[in-house]
Structure 1
Amino acid sequence: MGRKEDNIKKATEVMSVLPQIRNLCIAAHIDHGKTTLSDNLIAGAGMMSSDLAGAARVLDFDEQESARGITINAASASMVHAVDGTDYLINLIDTPGHVDFGGDVTRAMRAVDGCFILACAVEGPMPQTETVVRQALKEKVKPVLFINKVDRLINELQVTPEDMMNRFQETITKVNKLIKQFAPDEFKKDWQVSVLDGTVAFGSAYHNWGITIPYMKKSGVTMTDIFQYCNEEKQKELAQAAPVHEVLLDMAVTKLPSPVQAQPYRIPNIWTGDLESGIGKAMMACDPDAELAMMITKIWMDPHAGEVAVGRIYSGAISQGESVFAIGAAKPERVQQVSMMVGGDRITVPKVVAGNIAAITGIRSAAAGVTLSRDKDFTPFEAIRHYSDPVVTVAVEPKSMKDLPKFIDALRSLAKSDASLQVTTNQETGEALLAGMGELHLEITVYRIEEEQNIKVSVSPPIVVYREGVQGSNRGQAFEGKSPNRHNRFFFEIESLPSEVVDALRNGDLGDGPVRSSDAKETGNKFGELGMDKDLMRKIYAINGTNVLVNDTKGIQGLHETRELIIEAFNEVCKKGPIADEPVQGMFVRLTDAKLHEDAIHRGPAQTIPAVRNGIKGAMMRARTVLLEPMQKAFVSVPNDWLGQVTREVTNRRGIIEDMPSEGDVTTVVGVLPIAETFGFSNDIRAASQGRAVWNTENLGFEMLPPQLFDKVVGEIRTRKGLKPEPNPESYYSD
């Protein structure tokens, strides 16, 4: 193992020589050989056993999980590669194989300066390859091309050398067309890839060989030799004459930029702060002695160290034991360990400097996309995502109970690395409810549990989460809720809250939960600033999400003793409304009067809670309750040839097209559609555009369900929950 230790020592030395660092990723469609190639690069650089790398993949369930684990779990792997006697540190970041996950791929691209585009020699660039390339170019990441699986062209398709060169040329032309289309203007010409220039390599990641024109000159291996080796099934000898790791790492060092070269044109693209400020200039210069600016790109769970945050440092350095802010968190946190990912190992180092990828532990608030700095008010790299309501739920459980502990850990780390996922588990049955931003989001989450954690799971069909709200008001017609013993009565009036108040509640500006009497005045004043009656709002009892409860009674004896019970009943209704047991939003509840039994024993929980619950639900029915459905805005970028099919897909799903800006020969369809209609959307859009559409979605909150669908949807939800199909009428709650 001497070579590995030697490399670890070299890696820690080269780390501070910025021109000798390369940060890169492999951009490929799933199944195009990304994992095999990553393994072989790492093995070739002496970071793991080369026997495991290519061959072990034949058995996908092999015992060498630890060897393969590098590309499954590790967020990055660093290796040392010498070119002409100079050592270079190459940080390879794992990009998600699933393209549709905009945020993840973009974050991985943010951390790197160059990428290997992997294209299959047999299939050519797949439309999905196109998507990743587009994303890389958008982030100003310089590409080079590796045409993989060349052995299959020669052995399976029996092509002639001329044929082969024509196929290569086709692939290269396609990739260059993409670069011309999507690269920033200043690089459209310079970033074109070509065989002569040495920015195109071909080979077989699986059989461990590769070649470029510069390497042919260096090694004397020619195209004729390659044909001969493949035809005679001597790919092992070929792998010794032209090892893939050497060819590609040479290409990375000579053709891809160092952080010092890349940051001047990349920082303006990824950071919105003032570029003329001290920190702006420091990041442009990749200055290791300046203030710290780091972005977390991935969180993963280490069985020994717990949560490890991996990210790129753009300026300054991060040291063990210092305190830093995860921007958005209230207080600084202490960095327990700083390490580099060398091969599959985390090697602890005292500090890591700008231009590198560091792995740190101890920052509990870190999550993918979060910025770390010593300055609390630092402009983050990515706007902090405010909490948005997950709108689709699936139930997931492991197929085998022995996987349960592993499954629960996997869920915990997923929730951490993906802020838009909500996880609730039933510890006894192991069933978990995953609530996410849409069907695709949940599909990918399940894919991760199965592929990355190797846990087979069963999944329920997706369920949309609706909301209930009130559209009218029963002001002046208070609804009376009676207790079971008929001795206590509560009168409620309900209306909807103004939208600006709902937004303020959603952003957490007005607090949440019961409001103490001592805080009621201040809270009331805040509502007053938003245009509500300040004096009325000073009588506030509680806030639940975007719902508010106010005590608008005068001089009722004993009411303060039932205050907690009234709030408890209000919370129950907020969780499950009268129409379909769905959560309630945007509701303003006023308790206008109450008649209580003078003896406290007759107004305990068993009397007060049902009376208040029925009073609020009945008032909601009287004020006219509506069902709100979650909406999604979809941005679908598609070549103009497929535009008609894509717009048809959107409009067929009750979608409204808001805008269709076009750029060159690509048009972006901006549409708003109900999430209930988006199931299967990803597959249909792929089919309609032959895989060429790139899309992402953002949730738009809730809108009223069209009246003609009300009975049908309510009936379906209630039946699914085991309730009778029709909601209870208002009279049900007055008994």
Structure 2
Amino acid sequence: MGRKEDNIKRATEVMHVREKIRNLAIAAHIDHGKTTLSDNLIAGAGMMSEDLAGKSRVLDFDQQESARGITINAASASMVHDIDGDDYLINLIDTPGHVDFGGDVTRAMRAVDGCIILACAVEGTMPQTETVVRQALKEKVRPVLFINKVDRLINELQIDGPEMMQRFEKIIVKVNKLIATFAPAELAKEWQVSVQKGTVAFGSAYYNWGMSIPYMTKSGLNFKDIFEHCHNDEQKELAKKAPVHQVLLDMAVEQLPSPLVSQKYRIPNIWQGDLESEVGQSMLETNPDGPLQLMITKIWMDPHAGEVAVGRVYSGSIKHGESVWAIGAAKAERVQQVSMMVGGDRIQVPEVSAGNIAALTGVKSAAAGVTITRDPEATPFEAIRHYSEPVVTVAVEPKSMKDLPKFIDALRGLAKADASLQVTTNQETGEALLAGMGELHLEITIFRMQEEQNIKVKVSEPIVVYRESIESNNSGRPFEGKSPNRHNRFYIECEPLPQDVINALREGHFGDGPVRTKDAKEVGNKFAEFGMDKDLMRKIYAINATNVFVNDTKGIQNLHETRELMIEGFNDVCKKGPTAEEPLMGVLVRLVDAKLHEDAIHRGPAQTIPAVRNAVKGAVLRARSVIFEPMQNIRIDAPNDVIGGVTRELTTRRGIIEDMPVDGGTASVIGKMPVAESFGFSNDIRAASQGRAVWNTENAGFVQLPAALFHKVTAEIRQRKGLKEEIPGEDNYQD
């Protein structure tokens, strides 16, 4: 039996010993060395050749990933690690560092209990480092720290021991600040990382060596030895004495929790069901014999088996051949195969039990974020919230109309596989609108469709996704919306929601969709915690993204019968606002009065929905509608002698410079830039810096468009959508 086959056998045995399982992610900024490190960990565990580690990119099994040299999907691999004769099962997930693929990081964090945060010793913590730490802590995933590329500090920058310690300390302090800010209050102190506690390691993933205080004690090596090995070009020898997989997997086993420990504090955070119920207790105990609760975190396409759903089993066991429900699906489906993942290899097993990562085929209704159970009425897991919203759209259509059915199927598959991609289709024209996190996100999505599905497509220029909102209110001046038959009237007032409430809505604090009457009191109390009127918010009807609809009327007969229809009218405006048919954001919509026909036949959908839709649109215009545009945080590092060209390039694109720290011969420009101005930035910044600038971006939410640009941008959006350029006034929605 080969070493790889032996490891697979051991992995399937250890899978059932829950205290010996570690589910962990590696997360960092782009190009800080995640995939190289993953390869070395897998090689060290005997799953691939050590000579290929760092070059073969096992977890980058997607054609585009290997070609671009960045990780796009969050791939996973199971491996066995031996400590003092005891086998431990490590389920490892590598995540993308590129800002456009942050959705995969968010989903990966739901599947794991611990996280190795990778920071570059040369660059330190960067914007995306902060984002991944925040995502990990929001999911109650415990972090440890690995400072990578230490060989470059010693050999390229020629720094001495004391200066190296200062650099390490700076990175550790920054990571601990993030933990103190974003970790749950009860865990923030315990989760601080430190060299002394053994929760910080350092080394070189590329040269395959690592070090930590516990490993120094174990091996007898010290800092002087490390400097000497690096200076004397003896890093291969250092890798034999202190292999990075040994150091980091030891740290993972000793410092990160098993599912038995983590699920006790993670389940209340990700599942809103009754913790005292059988399934609640089973998840808290990671019981392999309890009711099945599995959450899908990723869908990927296998060229032979089709759709493969990867997810975390929190309770029970998933077995080959059994029937399961994807919550929300119309019927149960049969699991054709159950597997464990080793990079691109799926190793079939009879079952995967609680605490592990499973790969399934046959469950067609599965999608990222869906709960799999044996009971269709089971309480699903909390929806996975993404830190960034889609900000760029492209229109896509097949070049040949005979490909239209295949094209529509491909779009459905893409939407299932990537929850951070928004897909809308015009069934008549076949044109689809894909909204994603950035240019690269959409480029990769379209490449996959063309290569994997063999469909040739036409793609429009990228279009920026804007938001509509209001800057005032129409309190005391409700807008009247009349039904086409003139027998029903609805009176609506609008006001802007406070920013902290918008943020909480975005994070899913209050839920989304219609609010059941029995839940309205509890939801209203949550809004009251943010300083909103408790009595008003207890009359809530619905939430749509960051907008809220409340019924502020008293004693109107038959109003409850039109509730669902009114919510539908409200939802229509949330999708397409009155100014430019862009999504609505941050608006509290209040129904303050209504006059209804006593006969139900005269207040059906064809009467109520357009009346409410017009009332909400008119109220938004009366409350002074505005356009919000998406922004990006940007950081550019360049030599001092070219920094002038860099700042000019940023300011000509309406960029705002917030800080310009200087470190030796390198200056950094830190600021913000509108997404609308970012197209073609890569080429222009290279030219402005003579190819010497390094930059990265991160989505930074939406800000109000400058008043001077309001009419120009709105006219462009309306023209693009085939609407009249002129912005509608209130009279467009009266009668």
Q: Does residue 449 of structure 1 match 2:453?
A: no
Distance in 2 (alpha carbons) for counterparts of 1:2 and 1:359: 24
Q: CA deviation at 1:406?
A: 12
Distance in 1 (alpha carbons) for counterparts of 2:328 and 2:416: 15
Which residue of the partner structure matches residue 167 of structure 1? 167
SS in structure 2 of the partner of residue 276 of structure 1: coil
Q: 1:426 to 1:375 in 2, by over 3 A?
A: closer
Residue type of the partner of 1:295?
M
Contact 2:71 2:96 in 1 (8 A): no
SS in structure 1 of the partner of residue 216 of structure 2: helix
Encode CA deviations 1:224-268: one digit per residue, 9 max, x unaligned: 222122112222232222221122112111221111122222222
Residue type of the partner of 1:23?
N
SS in structure 1 of the partner of residue 51 of structure 2: helix
Contact 1:394 1:442 in 2 (8 A): no
Q: CA deviation at 1:578?
A: 12
Contact 2:219 2:241 in 1 (8 A): yes
Contact 2:73 2:95 in 1 (8 A): no
Distance in 2 (alpha carbons) for counterparts of 1:56 and 1:435: 32
Q: CA deviation at 1:88?
A: 1.0
Distance in 1 (alpha carbons) for counterparts of 2:701 and 2:713: 27
Q: CA deviation at 1:9?
A: 1.1
Contact 1:70 1:343 in 2 (8 A): no
Contact 2:294 2:372 in 1 (8 A): yes
Q: CA deviation at 1:404?
A: 13
Distance in 2 (alpha carbons) for counterparts of 1:344 and 1:44: 17
Q: Does residue 359 of structure 1 match 2:359?
A: yes
Q: Which runs of 5+ in 2 are unaligned?
A: 452-456, 470-477, 494-512, 517-553, 585-593, 597-605, 634-653, 655-673, 682-694, 730-735
Q: CA deviation at 1:353?
A: 0.3
Contact 2:464 2:675 in 1 (8 A): no
Distance in 1 (alpha carbons) for counterparts of 2:165 and 2:33: 21
Q: 1:629 to 1:294 in 2, by over 3 A?
A: farther
Which residue of the partner structure matches residue 86 of structure 2? 86
Which residue of the partner structure matches residue 339 of structure 1? 339
- Structure 2 matches for 1:433-448, cutoff 5 A? 433-435=433-435, 441-443=437-439, 445-446=441-442, 448=444
Q: 1:268 to 1:233 in 2, by over 3 A?
A: same
Which residue of the partner structure matches residue 249 of structure 1? 249
- Structure 2 matches for 1:25-44, cutoff 5 A? 25-44=25-44
Which residue of the partner structure matches residue 225 of structure 1? 225
Q: 1:244 to 1:430 in 2, by over 3 A?
A: farther
Which residue of the partner structure matches residue 502 of structure 2? none
| Partner residue of 1:461 out of 434, 439, 463 | 463
Q: Does residue 140 of structure 1 match 2:140?
A: yes
Q: Does residue 301 of structure 1 match 2:301?
A: yes
Q: Does residue 330 of structure 1 match 2:363?
A: no
Q: 1:66 to 1:89 in 2, by over 3 A?
A: farther
Contact 2:480 2:490 in 1 (8 A): no
Which residue of the partner structure matches residue 265 of structure 2? 265
SS in structure 2 of the partner of residue 187 of structure 1: coil
Distance in 2 (alpha carbons) for counterparts of 1:303 and 1:62: 11
Which residue of the partner structure matches residue 107 of structure 1? 107
Q: CA deviation at 1:189?
A: 3.5
Contact 2:480 2:491 in 1 (8 A): no
Q: 1:507 to 1:177 in 2, by over 3 A?
A: closer
Q: CA deviation at 1:337?
A: 1.4
Q: Does residue 395 of structure 1 match 2:395?
A: yes
Distance in 2 (alpha carbons) for counterparts of 1:375 and 1:41: 38
Q: CA deviation at 1:352?
A: 0.5
Q: CA deviation at 1:70?
A: 12
Distance in 2 (alpha carbons) for counterparts of 1:283 and 1:404: 44
SS in structure 1 of the partner of residue 129 of structure 2: helix
What percentage of aligned pairs have identical amino acids? Answer: 65
Contact 1:146 1:200 in 2 (8 A): yes
Encode CA deviations 1:11-63: one digit per residue, 9 max, x unaligned: 11111111111000012111211121112212222222333322457xx9999
Which residue of the partner structure matches residue 668 of structure 2? none
SS in structure 2 of the partner of residue 78 of structure 1: strand
Distance in 2 (alpha carbons) for counterparts of 1:718 and 1:634: 18
Distance in 2 (alpha carbons) for counterparts of 1:711 and 1:67: 43
Distance in 2 (alpha carbons) for counterparts of 1:250 and 1:454: 43
Contact 2:128 2:698 in 1 (8 A): no
Distance in 1 (alpha carbons) for counterparts of 2:628 and 2:322: 42
Residue type of the partner of 2:270?
I
Contact 2:71 2:95 in 1 (8 A): no
Q: 1:125 to 1:454 in 2, by over 3 A?
A: farther
Q: 1:432 to 1:82 in 2, by over 3 A?
A: same
Q: CA RMSD in A?
A: 5.9
Residue type of the partner of 2:174?
K
Distance in 2 (alpha carbons) for counterparts of 1:358 and 1:204: 31
Q: CA deviation at 1:532?
A: 9.6
Q: CA deviation at 1:209?
A: 1.4
Q: 1:707 to 1:261 in 2, by over 3 A?
A: closer
Q: 1:420 to 1:205 in 2, by over 3 A?
A: closer
Q: 1:496 to 1:336 in 2, by over 3 A?
A: farther
- Structure 2 matches for 1:326-725, cutoff 5 A? 326-383=326-383, 393-395=393-395, 411-419=411-419, 421-423=421-423, 432-435=432-435, 441-443=437-439, 445-446=441-442, 448-449=444-445, 459-462=461-464, 464=466, 546=568, 679=676, 715-717=715-717, 719-720=719-720, 725=725
Distance in 1 (alpha carbons) for counterparts of 2:488 and 2:628: 26
Which residue of the partner structure matches residue 644 of structure 1? none
Which residue of the partner structure matches residue 503 of structure 2? none
Contact 1:99 1:105 in 2 (8 A): no
Residue type of the partner of 1:461?
I
Encode CA deviations 1:110-150: one digit per residue, 9 max, x unaligned: 22111111111112222432332233223222221111000
Distance in 1 (alpha carbons) for counterparts of 2:35 and 2:212: 21
SS in structure 2 of the partner of residue 434 of structure 1: strand
Q: CA deviation at 1:471?
A: 6.3
Which residue of the partner structure matches residue 126 of structure 2? 126
Distance in 2 (alpha carbons) for counterparts of 1:683 and 1:472: 46
Distance in 2 (alpha carbons) for counterparts of 1:393 and 1:45: 42
Q: 1:407 to 1:723 in 2, by over 3 A?
A: closer
Which residue of the partner structure matches residue 152 of structure 1? 152
Distance in 1 (alpha carbons) for counterparts of 2:418 and 2:713: 30
Distance in 1 (alpha carbons) for counterparts of 2:377 and 2:61: 48
Distance in 1 (alpha carbons) for counterparts of 2:197 and 2:577: 67
Contact 2:74 2:104 in 1 (8 A): no
Contact 2:119 2:148 in 1 (8 A): yes
SS in structure 1 of the partner of residue 463 of structure 2: coil
Q: CA deviation at 1:287?
A: 0.8
Distance in 2 (alpha carbons) for counterparts of 1:471 and 1:152: 65
Q: CA deviation at 1:75?
A: 3.2
Q: CA deviation at 1:533?
A: 9.5
Distance in 2 (alpha carbons) for counterparts of 1:693 and 1:392: 13
Q: Does residue 214 of structure 1 match 2:214?
A: yes
Which residue of the partner structure matches residue 657 of structure 1? none
Distance in 1 (alpha carbons) for counterparts of 2:63 and 2:384: 41
Which residue of the partner structure matches residue 599 of structure 2? none
Q: 1:217 to 1:331 in 2, by over 3 A?
A: same
Indicate the larger mover: 456-465 or 257-266.
456-465
Which residue of the partner structure matches residue 16 of structure 1? 16
Residue type of the partner of 2:423?
V
- Structure 2 matches for 1:304-323, cutoff 5 A? 304-323=304-323
Distance in 2 (alpha carbons) for counterparts of 1:154 and 1:406: 55
Indicate the larger mover: 316-325 or 167-176.
167-176
Contact 1:311 1:357 in 2 (8 A): yes
Distance in 1 (alpha carbons) for counterparts of 2:53 and 2:258: 27
SS in structure 2 of the partner of residue 192 of structure 1: coil
Q: Which one has a bigger Cα radius of gyration?
A: 1
Which residue of the partner structure matches residue 524 of structure 2? none
